[in-house]
Amino acid sequence: MNAMTPTPPVPAPLNNMGAPTARYESHAKVTGQAIYAADMGPANPAFGFLVTSGIALGKIVRIDDSAARAVPGLIDIFTYRNAPALKPVKHFAQGGRVSDSVVPLAGPEISYAGEIVALVVAETFETAREAAHRLRIDYAPQHAAAGFGSQGTDEKPFAAVSKEHKDKTAGDFEGAFAAAPVKLDARYSTPTQHHNPIELFSTTAVWNGDMLTLFEPSQFVWGLKAGVAEQLGIDAEKVHVINPFVGGAFGSKGIMTQRTALVAAAARLLRRPVKLVVMRNQGFTTATYRAETRHHIRLGAKPDGQLTAYAHEGWEVTSRADDYAVAGTENSVEIYNAPNVWTKVNIVKADRNTPGFMRSPPEVPYMYALESAIDEMAQELNIDPVEFRRINDTQVSPINGAPYTSRSMMKCFDQASAAFGWHKRQAKPSTTRDGDWLIGYGCATAVYPTNMMPATARIRLTADGHAVVQIAAHDVGTGAYTAMQNIASEHLGLPVGNIRVEMGDSALPPGPVAGGSMTTASAGSAVLAACTQIAARFGNTMPAPAELRDAFARLGTQSVEEYAEYSPPAAGAAGIKALYNGKMGGGGEQQKGGDNKKPLMMAFGANFVEVRVHSRTREIRVPRMTGAFAGGRIVNPRTARSQYLGGMIWGMASALLEATEMDEKRARYVNDNIAEYLLAVNADIPHVDIILVPETDTKVNPMGVKGIGELANVGMPAAIANAVYNATGTRIRDLPITIDKLI
């Protein structure tokens, strides 16, 4: 299909990149030695099985458990009538600790489809499931609002309900837009999406006296520990969360759900360890999801391509209970040099479970809308889309003039477009063909803010030249174990094979949530600080490995151990305190790009894609993609490339496949399984080129590292929509792009 050689899977390190070492845990994973949470804990627990609500709104009027209780091996059935009371805990956006504040089994009222209405516990998994299916619950349903356009939703400006969000504005948008010689006014939408990690949600709760041990896949064990303790009304010191490996999360395992304390309370009551695995369909409602969004964008420009005005109004669905929004305008307004800006984010409350973080939560939907609009405007102006972005490139905030710490957006565009062969693109849609296939090229900007959270780490170095790095951070499949190993290896001057890394256990020093692409920057900065302290024990320079024994002999010891803390400047000492208290933000707020006049910290990239649309069937294929990304220091180019690869493919999935379909009448998800919820696999894209663009940033954090985990899937949905337009002349403004929309 094309003759280019793909970029190699093990990229040679360029300037400001570390060694491309192999994955730390790869051997353990491929040999089955890596044990996941649901397979941990005692050999003979009692098994839980959830029953979830058959209606979205209303009341339970009758529970008949006689058939269920007759199942041999049943231990107990908990419903609102006999459930252990759990303390209500606030949603994390309101300073609390849960991802959905509706407490299950608190009463007969139902707030959303798929709410937990019973926990069945039995001697075996099969028995619990059998009894769950025999439990009869009758409801009195009410009309439920499913989402946008449903009767009974409640729309509010997000700024009115959020303490943190402010709608950014600059200059005079209305005046500038009215005066603009070239205008674009367009609306876009994105669907509900669910994370669907391969590893299911699970909780295993084991009590030893008043000590609770939890095995649960989590992106934040210290947060889970504190949250469960609060809900159970016990001391956080009595809770231990163990979870060394996570089989995918994408945001869904970052914040505590309501199931954990329920299982722990049941185990306490029954005086038995209880293991619960949440079924795939139940995971759609017991955890969070990406809310569907709508966008109204207006752009004004001069004929020479200079943007003069940008307005972006967004709408996001949330639940009745919680005012959650991702508010992607906070960063989208910083990308292009439009001096007159108006934004507004609205929430639309419906009878749904509460949405949450998913794969670049704000940037994926908001940048899809903006980058589609940018392509439409470039077409209108008859300017090449890459050149249009160059004209509007900036090194400072268009909102308040604050500088970027570094920004390599156009470098990424230039390297990606050259490798992709962008010069072959025909600006007029529907002009390039290969037999029955219409060929289209598209591109878009990828961007992700550099988030950071406080972190702590401990390192023990022994005279034999081996070190153990301990931090309760998490590897959610991203390569975090490897990155921590790389950092310690580099700064202790030891081979990677001599470094053991321990993560995912709340007995370790607290680390950041494995979200917001902040692990390497945050946990890495704590590991770096611990390495620096270790070096200080040897007069600030690490002895060479061969000299270590003598150096230790001079110290009169066989091992040294250092504990270190890192807190972003905005969080300070309060941030460390908050972290020990299981809070995500440093002192209530995480430092990120875009607030006040602080420098903007963001990683940039450029996504290019070729699509082929069949001229008669409108089948869409993506034969190749090229991405170039700059994210400050790259600790390991091999794992970084894998992150970009995965991100680009997720972006493709988001454009063409992923959507949770709603039954509008019953406010219920229809395709709550991975047979009908479509995901991309590597085989869907034969050829992915990834270019690591060197970038040095000395200001973001001591590591000089920006977040890259979520970067590459941003922009890809728009790049594909833009390529589909270039192929067909049809502009699809509602994701996903499916055959029916092209006919």
Catalytically active residues are 710
Minimal distance in Å, beta carbon 370 to ligand MOS? 19
| Calpha distance 81→84 (Å, rounded) | 9
**Residue nearest ligand MOS, CB atom distance:** 251
Please report, as a single letter, which amino acid is at residue 87. Answer: K
Q: How far is CA 522 from CA 488, 571, 595, 635, in A?
A: 14, 12, 19, 13
Judged by CB under 6 A, the number of residues near ligand MOS is 11
| C-beta of residue 263 within 8 angstroms of C-beta of residue 48 | yes
Three-class DSSP category at 559: strand
Choose the binding region for ligand MOS from 85-93, 230-238, 248-256, 430-438 (rule: CB under 6 A): 248-256
Question: Closer CB to ligand MOS, residue 221 or residue 307?
Answer: 221
Site string for ligand MOS, 417-456 (x = CB under 6 A): ----------------------------------------
251 forms part of the interface with ligand MOS (CB under 6 A): yes
Please report, as a single letter, which amino acid is at residue 100. Answer: D
CA 340 to chain centre: 31
Question: Closer CB to ligand MOS, residue 300 or residue 568?
Answer: 568
Minimal distance in Å, beta carbon 195 to ligand MOS? 8
For the segment 333-362, give every residue that binds ligand MOS (CB under 6 A). 357-359, 361
Choose the binding region for ligand MOS from 247-255, 319-327, 376-384, 528-536 (rule: CB under 6 A): 247-255
For the segment 359-418, give every residue that binds ligand MOS (CB under 6 A). 359, 361
Please report, as a single letter, which amino acid is at residue 482. Answer: T
Minimal distance in Å, beta carbon 360 to ligand MOS? 7
Give the residue, chosen from 516, 585, 587, 627, that forms a contact with ligand MOS under the rule CB under 6 A.
516
Other C-beta atoms lying within 10 Å of the C-beta of residue 414: 17
Residue owning tokens 């992709």:
420
Instruction: State both tokens at 2.
Output: 């094309």
Give the residue, chosen from 254, 454, 593, 605, that forms a contact with ligand MOS under the rule CB under 6 A.
254
Three-class DSSP category at 448: strand
Minimal distance in Å, beta carbon 519 to ligand MOS? 10
> What is the phi/psi pair of residue 419, to 5°?
-65, -35
Minimal distance in Å, beta carbon 357 to ligand MOS? 4
Site string for ligand MOS, 707-726 (x = CB under 6 A): ---x----------------
Question: Closer CB to ligand MOS, residue 216 or residue 710?
Answer: 710
| C-beta of residue 474 within 8 angstroms of C-beta of residue 218 | yes
CA nearest to 530, candidates 467, 588, 576: 467
531 forms part of the interface with ligand MOS (CB under 6 A): no
Question: Closer CB to ligand MOS, residue 239 or residue 584?
Answer: 584
For the segment 172-231, give every residue that binds ligand MOS (CB under 6 A). 219
Other C-beta atoms lying within 10 Å of the C-beta of residue 531: 25
DSSP-derived pairing of the beta strands 274-277 and 46-52:
parallel
Question: Closer CB to ligand MOS, residue 454 or residue 515?
Answer: 515
Instruction: State both tokens at 299.
Output: 């752009």
Question: Closer CB to ligand MOS, residue 266 or residue 476?
Answer: 476
Minimal distance in Å, beta carbon 200 to ligand MOS? 17
Q: What is the 3-state secondary structure (H, E, C) of 490-518?
A: HHHCCCHHHEEEECCECCCCECCCCCCCC
User: Exposed, middle or buried: residue 310 (CB in 10 Å: 0-12, 13-18, 19+)?
Assistant: buried
Minimal distance in Å, beta carbon 215 to ligand MOS? 20
DSSP-derived pairing of the beta strands 307-319 and 239-242:
unpaired
Q: How far is CA 594 from CA 390, 398, 446, in A?
A: 21, 11, 16
For the segment 659-698, give every residue that binds ligand MOS (CB under 6 A). none
Minimal distance in Å, beta carbon 604 to ligand MOS? 18
Residue ranges in 618-676 assigned as alpha helix (H): 637-656
CA nearest to 480, candidates 719, 269, 642: 642
The sign of the CA dihedral 377, 379, 383, 386 is positive
Phi-psi region for residue 58, left (φ > 0), alpha (ψ -120 to 50) or beta?
left
CA nearest to 254, candidates 222, 284, 230: 222
Question: Closer CB to ligand MOS, residue 378 or residue 503?
Answer: 503
For the segment 42-71, give every residue that binds ligand MOS (CB under 6 A). none
Instruction: State both tokens at 3.
Output: 């003759």
User: Which residues does 40 contact at the CB level (< 8 Å), separation at least 6?
Assistant: 204, 215, 242
| C-beta of residue 509 within 8 angstroms of C-beta of residue 561 | no
Question: Closer CB to ligand MOS, residue 603 or residue 724?
Answer: 603
Question: Closer CB to ligand MOS, residue 248 or residue 545?
Answer: 248
CA nearest to 526, candidates 575, 560, 592, 587: 575
Three-class DSSP category at 74: strand
Question: Closer CB to ligand MOS, residue 254 or residue 585?
Answer: 254
Question: Closer CB to ligand MOS, residue 251 or residue 651?
Answer: 251
Question: Closer CB to ligand MOS, residue 128 or residue 649?
Answer: 649
User: Exposed, middle or buried: residue 303 (CB in 10 Å: 0-12, 13-18, 19+)?
Assistant: exposed
Minimal distance in Å, beta carbon 532 to ligand MOS? 28
Q: Which residues of 491-500 are buried (b: 16+ CB within 10 A; e: fewer)?
A: bbbbebebbe
Question: Closer CB to ligand MOS, residue 358 or residue 622?
Answer: 358
515 forms part of the interface with ligand MOS (CB under 6 A): yes
Choose the binding region for ligand MOS from 53-61, 205-213, 249-257, 666-674 (rule: CB under 6 A): 249-257
CA nearest to 386, candidates 415, 431, 417: 417
Minimal distance in Å, beta carbon 590 to ligand MOS? 11
| C-beta of residue 110 within 8 angstroms of C-beta of residue 60 | yes
| Calpha distance 474→518 (Å, rounded) | 11
| Calpha distance 6→11 (Å, rounded) | 11
| Calpha distance 169→497 (Å, rounded) | 52
Minimal distance in Å, beta carbon 524 to ligand MOS? 16
Minimal distance in Å, beta carbon 667 to ligand MOS? 24
Minimal distance in Å, beta carbon 219 to ligand MOS? 6
| Calpha distance 524→521 (Å, rounded) | 5
CA nearest to 407, candidates 216, 272, 604: 604
Question: By the criterion CB under 6 A, which residues form the site for ligand MOS?
Answer: 219, 250-251, 254, 357-359, 361, 515-516, 710
